[in-house]
Amino acid sequence: MVETGGGAVKARVLIRPKQGLLDPQGQAIERALPALGFDSVRDVRVGRLVELETDRPERLQELCERLLCNTLIEEFEIVEVEP
């Protein structure tokens, strides 16, 4: 995470289906790729990216677990944003 002045931090949260769970969007994309000439692509998984700025970075984990991510079927990763 990157401080933006005044204590604010910018972060990205990557949210993906958990390994082993069905990903219908990823499967649909994977089936379409060979017709477009992308024969070497496999294991496609579709997720979401949330970018945010916060003055309370210590609460990002809680935010993800309680609101942004369904932890039963999804996993998340909090990553830094370059200034």
Are 76 and 46 in contact by the 8 Å Cβ rule? The answer is no
Pick from 12, 8, 13, 4: nearest CA to 56: 8
At the topology level, CATH places domain 2-80 in Mth169; Chain: A , (3.30.1280)
Residue 8 is predicted with a pLDDT of: 86
CA distance 21 to 8: 35
Give me the residue spans of the domains in the chain.
2-80
The reported pTM is 0.80
One digit per residue, the tens of pLDDT, for the chain of length 83 reads: 555 556 789 999 999 999 999 999 999 999 999 999 999 999 999 999 999 999 999 999 999 999 999 999 999 999 988 66
